[in-house]
Amino acid sequence: MSNNLKQELIAKISATEDEDLLWLLKTDYDYFTQQGNGDVTDELSQEDKDDLINLVSEPFGNDTISQQELDEAIRQWRTK
């Protein structure tokens, strides 16, 4: 791994005052580095698991959006 990339990330993290962003980064880091020590649904209640199964079982494409709409939504999300 590039040391430059690590240093850039460290500098950006050190410079931020956004605690929500820091929690998001920590949560993502913890999730992606756990290396299979659990399932993403382990912390869900049974009701939430049932809701998730129902959502996955719905027919695909009922409420899709165009690539352009997705790109715009992501742009707005990133510039929060």
Per-residue confidence (pLDDT) for residue 39, from 0 to 100: 76
Pairwise CA distance, residues 61 & 32, whole Å: 29
Pairwise CA distance, residues 14 & 22, whole Å: 10
Per-residue confidence (pLDDT) for residue 60, from 0 to 100: 74
Pairwise CA distance, residues 48 & 44, whole Å: 6
Which residue segment(s) compose the domain that 30 sits in? 3-78
Per-residue confidence (pLDDT) for residue 22, from 0 to 100: 94
pLDDT tens digits in sequence order for the chain, 80 residues long: 688 999 999 999 999 999 999 999 998 888 888 765 667 788 889 999 999 998 888 777 777 888 999 999 999 999 86
Per-residue confidence (pLDDT) for residue 48, from 0 to 100: 93
Grouping H, G, I as helix, E, B as strand and the rest as coil, residue 38 is coil
Pairwise CA distance, residues 2 & 23, whole Å: 24
Indicate the number of domains in the chain: 1
